[in-house]
Amino acid sequence: MVSFEKFNKISDYLWEVPRTFRKAMRVPARVYASEKMLTHVLDERAIEQLINIASLPGIEKYALAMPDIHQGYGFPIGGVAALRADEGVISPGGVGYDINCGVRLLASEVTLEDVGSKIEQIVSQMQRDVPSGVGRGGSVVLKEPELDKVLNTGVKWAISQGYATEADAEATEERGSMPGADAARVSERAKKRGADQLGTLGAGNHFVEIQEVVDIYDDRIAETFGIFPGQVTILIHTGSRGLGHQVCTDYVKLMNKVVHQYQIALPDRELSCAPFKSPEGQRYFGAMAAAANFAWTNRQILTDHVRGSWAQVLESGKQNAMRLVYDVAHNMAKKEKHDGKEYIVHRKGATRSFGPDHPVLPDKYKSTGQPVIIPGSMGTHSYLLAGTKESMQSTWGSTCHGAGRRMSRSQAKRSLDYNKLLEELDKYGVVVRAGSAKGLLEEAPAAYKDIDEVIKVVSETKIAAKVARMKPVGIIKG
Amino acid sequence: MMKYEFLDHPGDIKIRSFGKDLPELLQNSALGMMSFLYDIDEVKIDHREKIEIEAMDLDTLMIDWLSELLTFSDTNDSAYTEFEFEKCTDSHIVAKVGGGPAPAKDDIKAVTYSELDIKKKSEGYEAVVVYDI
């Protein structure tokens, strides 16, 4: 455990454990957080995990933690690290079991006032149309050759099947089709596990949320993003399902077998890794990118379901339009160029936050920086932000991904009351359709950290810029 | 002897299991995991799967054993609650497991090495495993 005294205060919201703290550290470890947030996380393993990242071969500048930092596997959740592509490692623990867990924001053409009376109907329709919940398969069950197309080409496949448009691809990181994806690197086990899970939400903290835009902080960027006050927006949060989980499990196992061949001292088996340029590193990257494509295709098919539900309830016309603002990944390793050098940037429970003029951004977002979507937990605000030039310098173009848990699931079930929670959500004006009472309690707002505090740190340190805030009005979860 | 118990964990689930010998420990670890995923009292066994694990140490053996069962479980939408070991050492398992449909309760993403602790005491074995949910 690392005590508070070991941290140097760089600024009110930035703390550093120096390289000298432990012999194995190659770089310092930095945490973006207020003092209060930092002291609260000290009793978990999160900081220890952050220090372990600092020992990875090829890591440059800092091992970074975003303000929603908490204990994870290998990396803490909220962990960011850039490793030199030529001699650095790639680590499945720096991506997560849920490869390309991420979130997308859809924007309607109408305000909540326009459709308010129909919200309950819309939520009920979506619950019928969106496969969610434990053990629930979807309607898109693919045989291997077709599944391989999804793994290799992601949203390109979805476009060919009518689930997506070119505009959807343009508004997705990597256009939903990551270079280097290789279905052959995904095991039979993983394909079988994911075979009936395409187009499904899952359970846990995954959800579809209907929202109202309640605050605008930057008029110019909001206009470019197509966001206006009172607008109805929809958030979809899910990942690569059993397929991704299996890919990570497979490669943690594989890399643990070969890690001593590369003379890498592992402080934690969950931090298992291999040099990016090694056969194992390349195989993992190919499989990870394939699983990422599966997740983007998953979110795209869910988008298609959601668009269908929306159009079914509302009369046809401009009310039907449901445009994809952007889709961001928050469990990923990406090949990126920074200052002319190539890195493998790991973001585990962290979101890319590229600033204005970045070449990979769609033209319409080059003047503003990319949209950054930060979901609050169920029943709390979500935020829309924009990437910044400052983040490119300080965090490899990265920011937080959400609020992070502060109460364990069992604590939440013990200390919170289901009926009271329903009452609270009702008072807050939220229609809920949840698959299980237990699932709902575990995801209660009280079980999560304060999203407003997390966003304050992000905003004050300029690693993303606030654009809008949304309030939930309807939730569908498994 | 208690088979398994759920311990508190900040974000996910942690199960401690017990066994008088290694096969019983492996069985009870599996039952603990299955009891989180399904209502195992309601399982209707309708098929068997063969599992063979070779591992470099006991820790890896446990993780690979539970991972394999999780994979079968997620793929076949089945709870596995019957276990027959043909071979069981610190580095090699050959077993037949019986499973079938049961009411699903929750999901597990993966079995992790985090906080993994397998102890051999005078009265038998004890293991703690953390699962990413």
Q: What's the ipTM?
A: 0.96
Give yes or no for residue A319 having a pLDDT over 80: no
> Which residues does chain B have within 8 Å of residue A269's beta carbon, measured at their own beta carbons?
59, 113, 116
- Pairing mode of beta strands A322-329, B4-7: unpaired
Is B5 an interface residue toward A (CB < 8 Å)? no
CA distance linking residue A324 with residue A168, whole number of Å: 6
> Which residues does chain A have within 8 Å of residue B12's beta carbon, measured at their own beta carbons?
409
The set of residues, in sequence order, having a beta carbon less than 8 Å from that of A414 and lying 6+ positions away, is: none
Count the neighbouring beta carbons within 10 Å of the beta carbon of residue B91. 12
Strand partners, B111: B131
Give yes or no for residue A444 having a pLDDT over 90: no
Instruction: Find out whether B77 and B101 touch, Cβ atoms under 8 Å.
Output: yes
* pLDDT more than 70, % of chain B: 100
B10 to A44: CB separation less than 8 angstroms, yes or no: yes
Mean local confidence (pLDDT), A31-50: 94
pLDDT band (50, 70, 90) for residue A451? very high
- Residues of the domain holding B88: 4-132
The shortest CB-CB distance from B133 to any of A71, A204, A411 is to A204
pLDDT in tens, B30-54: 999 999 999 999 999 999 999 999 9
pLDDT band (50, 70, 90) for residue A436? confident
Which of A253, A274, A265, A251 lies closest to A88 in space, CA to CA? A274
* pLDDT more than 70, % of chain A: 100
pLDDT in tens, A111-129: 999 997 899 999 999 999 9
The shortest CB-CB distance from A269 to any of B10, B105, B113 is to B113
> Which residues does chain A have within 8 Å of residue B104's beta carbon, measured at their own beta carbons?
134-135
- Pairing mode of beta strands A431-434, A465-477: parallel
Mean local confidence (pLDDT), A24-50: 95
Give yes or no for residue A378 having a pLDDT over 80: no
pLDDT band (50, 70, 90) for residue A315? confident
pLDDT band (50, 70, 90) for residue A442? confident
B11 to A257: CB separation less than 8 angstroms, yes or no: no
3-class SS of residue A471: strand
For residue B58, what pLDDT is reported?
97
The DSSP annotation for A91-124 comes to -GGGT-SSTT-EEEEEEEEEEHHHHGGGHHHHHH
CATH assignment at residue B58? 3.55.10.10
Give yes or no for residue A317 having a pLDDT over 90: no
Mean local confidence (pLDDT), A245-268: 94
Mean of pLDDT over chain B: 96
pLDDT in tens, B93-112: 999 999 999 999 999 999 99
A97 to B110: CB separation less than 8 angstroms, yes or no: yes
pLDDT band (50, 70, 90) for residue A326? very high
Give yes or no for residue A441 having a pLDDT over 90: no
Q: Which of A10-14, A122-126, A175-179, A379-383 bottoms out in mean pLDDT, i.e. has the lowest?
A: A379-383
Question: Which of B51, B112, B130 has the most A C-beta neighbours within 10 Å, making it the best mutation to test the interface with A?
Answer: B112
* Residue of chain A minimizing CA distance to B6: A410
The shortest CB-CB distance from B74 to any of A203, A242, A270 is to A242
For residue A133, what pLDDT is reported?
84
Query: Hey, what's the torsion of the CAs at A434, A438, A444, A446, to 10 degrees?
Result: 170
CA distance linking residue B25 with residue A211, whole number of Å: 48
For residue A433, what pLDDT is reported?
87
Number of domains in chain B: 1
- Interface residues of chain A, partner chain B, Cβ below 8 Å: 44, 70-73, 77, 97-98, 134-135, 137, 189, 192-193, 195, 202-204, 242, 245-246, 248-249, 252-253, 256-257, 268-270, 405, 408-411, 438-439
Is B54 an interface residue toward A (CB < 8 Å)? no
For residue B100, what pLDDT is reported?
98
pLDDT in tens, A58-90: 999 999 999 999 999 999 999 999 999 999 999
The shortest CB-CB distance from A270 to any of B13, B74, B114 is to B114
* pLDDT more than 90, % of chain A: 81
A134 to B110: CB separation less than 8 angstroms, yes or no: no
List the domains of chain A with CATH numbers. 4-477 (3.90.1860.10)
For residue B116, what pLDDT is reported?
96
Question: Which of B117, B129, B132 has the most A C-beta neighbours within 10 Å, making it the best mutation to test the interface with A?
Answer: B132
pLDDT in tens, B12-22: 899 999 999 99
For residue A381, what pLDDT is reported?
92
A203 to B132: CB separation less than 8 angstroms, yes or no: no
> Which residues does chain A have within 8 Å of residue B64's beta carbon, measured at their own beta carbons?
253
The set of residues, in sequence order, having a beta carbon less than 8 Å from that of B119 and lying 6+ positions away, is: B125, B126, B127
Q: Which two tokens stand for residue A442?
A: 């575990």
For residue A408, what pLDDT is reported?
81
Mean local confidence (pLDDT), A434-451: 85
For residue A407, what pLDDT is reported?
81
Give yes or no for residue B10 having a pLDDT over 90: no
pLDDT band (50, 70, 90) for residue A25? very high
